[in-house]
Amino acid sequence: VGHGVEHLLPFLFILLLHLHLHAPAPAPAPAPAPAPAPAPAPAPAPAPAPAPAPAPAPAPAPAPAPAPAPAPTAAPAPAPERHDHE
At 30-60, the pLDDT tens digits run: 554 554 454 444 444 444 444 444 444 444 4
Can you give the pTM of this predicted structure? 0.24
What single string gives the DSSP state of each residue in 68-82? TTHHHHHTTTHHHHH
Q: Which amino acid is at 15?
A: L
What's the domain count of the chain?
A: 1
8 A C-beta contact, residue 50 and residue 28 = yes
Does residue 39 fall inside a structural domain?
no
8 A C-beta contact, residue 68 and residue 10 = yes
Does residue 56 fall inside a structural domain?
yes
> What is the DSSP-derived secondary structure letter of residue 23?
S
Domain ranges, residue 13: 2-33+44-85
For residue 77, how far is the Cα from the chain centroid? 29
Does residue 10 fall inside a structural domain?
yes
Give 5-23 pLDDT, tens digit per residue.
777 888 888 989 888 787 6
What are the φ/ψ torsions at residue 74 (nearest 5 degrees)? -70, -35
